[in-house]
Structure 1
């Protein structure tokens, strides 16, 4: 396989996997989890989608991978302990979404990708970023997929215990409820919802609720034996692909081959 290409796009670190064919090809962009794999390089190794005739460009989330402070996740964990929603989850999703248009322009200037609609993919908190691209931007998207995603931020916050909501945090968390925004998503692009059968029950329930709300504009893929992470700890450096991640990878490859690679040829 061709070696990954590493670089930065408008300050955002990326790991790019080229298609096997020469010439301009469609673009698929991903945002990784904060669980393992928690860097763009590790996410690329967990879900390489080899054989897919598109560029797979995996972007780094804020304060992760090359953007870790002093080479560790400690600074991010401190923000999580300070206020899991307002200092950690929401700012990470907001920053990753807001920095994407400039990063996309830079990717297109650096790599031989075509200028047609792209694919977007997100895992866990990165899934919330991919969904925000659909709900909060007008960037043309041909197909989208999420894996064990943060579909309702209230469910994610609940994993950390009781949270002292106030008027501002209620407004923020409601704005990150993508089941409530299913009509917007359905109008934008077909969505593959990948859910591990051993994921957190709250997140798995949200995946089914979103699939029901989207109806024919989505497809649900359940992965037996998959918990929330897609890789072993520590999840920062590339690691061998786990069997459950291989099943996710195969499903994503089929989805984007049908909806992204085919669309680019039409």
Structure 2
């Protein structure tokens, strides 16, 4: 396969994988996890979706990969300690979502992608970004997919120690990132593949099943045996060999997007 292309799109780092066949070709945009793989380059290695006649452009999340502070995730972990929801989870999703329109325009200027609908994919916290794009924008999208996604931000907050001290502001923020009530808007926008590891955190696994039920015929569930939450080994920042469970996820995503590119 051709070597990855790295660059910046309106200030957002990206790793792009060229399509099979002639360009211009359709575009699939992804947002990575904050667990491993936790950078655009590492996510591209874990889920390359080789063989698609589409550009796969993996965007970097805030303070990850090329945007790490002093080359580490320590600054992000300090935000977790300060306030896991309002200093970390919520603003990370908000920033990635708000960066998307300008990043997409920049990608279209830099790479020979066509001007048709795009695909979107997100893993874990990046899944919340993809779901927000599906639920809250009019960007033309031919298909979406999420992997072990942050479908209800309350379930993610519950993974951290202690009882989170919700107040009216944080209640509003966390409810804005609950995508089960937004299922009708998502379903109206594009078909969605929900990939869920059978060993994912129980709350997140339950949310995946609930979202598929709420989406109805516009969604499919792909359950991956023996897959916990991460898709790569630690530290998950640099590209690494594809793990067997990630290979199974990758095959399912490739088949899903190929089907919808064909239609």
- Shared fold by TM > 0.5? yes
Q: Provide the C-alpha distance between the structure 1 equivalents of 2:107 and 2:12, rounded to a whole number of angstroms.
A: 10
- Match in the other structure for 2:117: 117
- 1:168-200 deviation line (CA, Å, top 9, x unaligned): 000111111000110110110000000000000
Question: For the aligned residues, what is the CA RMSD?
Answer: 0.6
SS at match of 1:24: coil
Query: Partner residue of 1:5?
Result: 5
* C-alpha separation in 1, matches of 2:165 and 2:72: 28
- In structure 1, the gaps of 5 or more residues are none
User: Per the alignment, in what secondary structure is the counterpart of residue 16 of structure 1?
Assistant: strand
Match runs of 1:54-203 below 5 Å? 54-161=54-161, 162-203=163-204
- Measured against aligned partners, the alpha-carbon deviations of 1:197-235 in whole angstroms (never above 9, x if no partner) come to 000000000000000000100000000000000000000
How far apart are the structure 2 equivalents of 1:217 and 1:51?
25
Match of residue 50 from structure 1: 50
Moved more, 16-25 or 207-216: 16-25
**TM-score computed with the length of structure 1 as normaliser:** 0.98
Q: How far apart are residue 20 of structure 1 and its match?
A: 2.0
Q: C-alpha deviations, 1:3-24, integer Å up to 9, x for none? A: 0000000000000000121221
Q: Distance in 2 between matches of 1:20 and 1:167?
A: 50
SS for the counterpart of 2:258 is helix
SS in 2 for 1:19: coil
Partner of residue 246, structure 1? 247
Aligned positions, number = 262
Q: Any stretches of 5+ residues in structure 2 without a counterpart? A: none
Deviation at 1:75, TM superposition (A): 0.3
Cα distance in structure 1, aligned partners of 2:49 and 2:142 = 17
How far apart, CA to CA, are the structure 2 residues paired with 1:87 and 1:140?
Answer: 31
- Give TM-score scaled by structure 2 length: 0.99
Partners of 2:169 and 2:107 in 1: CA distance: 35
Question: Secondary structure of the equivalent of 1:99?
Answer: helix
Structure 1 match to 2:22: 22
- Runs of 4+ aligned residues of structure 1 deviating over 4 Å after TM superposition are none
Q: Deviations over 1:33-92 (max 9, x none)?
A: 000000000000000000011000000000000000000000000001100000000000
What is the alpha-carbon distance in structure 2 between the residues aligned to residue 64 and residue 40 of structure 1?
8
Matched, 1:218 2:240: no
